């Protein structure tokens, strides 16, 4: 496997074809993975999955278009549908074993279904959701008139998706900070 810097450089142009803010979000997800995963031996596969978990959004909307809550919910199934094909295509330049490829696909699937039952899935799903509590995430991806509606959606849907102990401690605080920030804007 190539080093993670080479992989990041390889992934960036692919993720830049996705929604506005997806590359910045991917980098925040990876930061959260590093915080939640500790010294796991499989951290590199988690990081790879973190970088490309939203690749299914490639080509669905103009890359600079910010979405409304309605557009997000409408397009999500289409993005999920094309994820596996795009992941395999992007990773085809590398020598991943079948087990490694299946693990990356399983991890990414957990971010789509929010059905995280294994510890590695929980780390990735929590990292994805913790990244969403960043004010930058909301500002980069969504039109301003929908910011509070997006926060409402996060408050409704995300808490039950958080599975790690550290995520359960951090998430309510980060979500409250997000709400306070958006209300002040």
* Beta bridge partners of residue 142, listed in sequence order: 67
pTM: 0.94
56 neighbors 79 (Cβ within 8 angstroms):
yes
Total number of domains constituting the chain = 1
pLDDT (0 to 100) of residue 2: 56
134 neighbors 175 (Cβ within 8 angstroms):
no
pLDDT (0 to 100) of residue 176: 97
Q: What's the pLDDT tens digit per position in 83-108?
A: 999 999 999 888 889 999 999 999 99
Give me the CATH number covering residue 174: 1.10.3210.10
Tell me the average pLDDT across 128-142. Answer: 96
pLDDT (0 to 100) of residue 129: 97
Q: What's the pLDDT tens digit per position in 62-75?
A: 988 999 989 999 99
pLDDT band at 7 (very low <50, low <70, confident <90, very high): confident
DSSP 125-150: HHHHHHHHTSHHHHHHHB-GGGHHHH
Mean pLDDT of the chain: 94
pLDDT (0 to 100) of residue 8: 86
Q: Answer yes or no: is pLDDT of 178 > 70.
A: yes
Q: What percent of the chain has pLDDT over 90?
A: 89
Neighbours of 118 (CB within 10 A): 13
The number of residues making up the chain comes to 185
Q: Answer yes or no: is pLDDT of 1 > 60.
A: no
Tell me the average pLDDT across 1-8. Answer: 70
Q: What's the pLDDT tens digit per position in 43-53?
A: 999 999 999 99
Rounded Cα gap, residues 71 and 169, in angstroms: 31
Which range marks the domain in which residue 155 is found? 4-184
Q: Which has the closest alpha carbon to 141: 88, 91, 71?
A: 71
Tokens of 18: 């996705």
Tell me the average pLDDT across 142-146. Answer: 95
Tokens of 111: 């971010």
3-state helix, strand, coil in the chain (%, to 5): 75, 0, 25
pLDDT band at 114 (very low <50, low <70, confident <90, very high): confident
């Amino acid at each position: 496997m190539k080093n993670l810097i080479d992989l990041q450089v390889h992934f960036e142009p692919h993720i830049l074809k996705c929604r506005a803010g997806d590359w910045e979000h991917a980098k925040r997800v990876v930061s959260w993975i590093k915080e939640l995963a500790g010294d796991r031996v499989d951290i590199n596969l988690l990081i790879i999955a973190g970088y490309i978990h939203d690749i299914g959004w490639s080509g669905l909307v103009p890359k600079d278009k910010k979405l409304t809550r309605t557009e997000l919910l409408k397009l999500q199934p289409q993005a999920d549908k094309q994820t596996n094909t795009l992941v395999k295509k992007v990773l085809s330049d590398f020598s991943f074993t079948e087990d490694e490829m299946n693990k990356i696909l399983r991890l990414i699937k957990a971010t789509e279904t929010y059905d995280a039952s294994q510890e590695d899935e929980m780390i990735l799903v929590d990292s994805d959701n913790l990244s969403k509590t960043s004010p930058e995430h909301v500002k980069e991806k969504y039109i301003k008139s929908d910011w509070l509606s997006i926060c409402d959606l996060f408050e409704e849907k995300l808490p039950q998706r958080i599975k790690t102990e550290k995520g359960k401690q951090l998430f309510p605080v980060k979500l409250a900070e997000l709400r306070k920030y958006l209300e002040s804007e």
